[in-house]
Amino acid sequence: MFSTRVTRPGRAGVVEVAFTDRHGGVSRPPFDSLDLGGAADRCDEAKANADRVARGLGVGRLTVMHQASGCGVAVVDSAAPPQAPCDAMVTATYDVALCVRVADCVPVVLADVNSGVLGVVHAGRRGVTAGVVGATIDTMRARGGEEIEAWVGSHVCGGCYEVPAKMRAEVSAAVPAAYSCTTWGTPALDLGAAVTRQLEESRCRVSDVSGCTLESPDLFSYRRDGARSGRFAGIVVLKPPT
């Protein structure tokens, strides 16, 4: 169920960070088995899977967003999802489990364990170019976040994310670290490297816990499986001090 799970105690409480894989759920093939996306005809399975993950983290529910591949940031004060589409969420409320869902884009989890300010980011090609990472960190700092740690989750790697040469030029003009080539020598983007550079430029401490979604059968990948791909997630929650 969890490919990565980290616990960080701090003055504000205990921060839990988790990234899911595709195992331990109820979804039927080809979405087996822990698909957290779920189209209309599979929403019951996705809800059952989300409930399993929430129980595993000791919370009542996951707070998800309608991701729009942009740079909108929502501040949430309860477990209810944001009303408007966005690609990042920030909270400083106990037991609100922020959840970002992906299948190749970069899931980023952020936390200041002393102030208790948390965030998650859906960093796809458009969001990276538009600056969604920096916008999220600015929002966290405006709410008291100072020493922010970031975890970069699994995504399609720079050696596999083939794109047209024009697209590579456009994205790397905005974020030079995104420039890459596939392992077979064609133009590519390295969104993980781009996100890491943006985090470092924003003075965040970065932990890379990623693998390549396209190469790993334990993860969902839209590039590999198209419409037959589910979604996995990055999650962060602040528990009260004990």
Residue located via tokens 């720079």: 158
* Weakly modelled stretches of the chain, pLDDT under 70: 40
Nearest alpha carbon to residue 219 among 153, 133, 158: 153
CATH number for the domain running over 2-239: 3.60.140.10
Which spans in the chain are helix H? 43-57, 125-130, 132-142, 165-174, 191-201, 222-225
pTM: 0.96
User: What's the angle, vertex CA 227, arms to CA 107 and CA 79, rounded to 5?
Assistant: 40
Question: Which pLDDT does position 138 carry in this prediction?
Answer: 98
pLDDT in tens, 156-185: 999 999 999 999 999 999 999 999 999 999
**DSSP strand pairing (88-91 vs 73-75):** parallel
* Burial class (CB within 10 angstroms; exposed 0-12, middle 13-18, buried 19+) of 173: exposed
Asked if the peptide bond before residue 78 counts as cis, ω within 30 degrees of 0, the response is no
CA-based angle 183:187:193, to the nearest 5? 75
Query: What pLDDT does 41 receive?
Result: 77
pLDDT of residue 225: 97
- Amino acid 242: pLDDT: 79
- Of the chain, the end-to-end C-alpha distance in Å amounts to 26
DSSP state of 70: S
Please give the pLDDT value at position 211. Answer: 97
The CA dihedral of 88, 63, 232, 181, to the nearest 10 degrees, is 0
Cα separations in angstroms, 183 against 53, 154, 180, 189:
35, 18, 10, 12
pLDDT for 42 equals 84
CB 64 within 8 A of CB 76: no
* Domain positions in the chain: 2-239
Number of residues that make up the chain: 242
17 closest CA partner among 116, 114, 144, 151? 151
- Token pair, residue 214, equals 């396209």
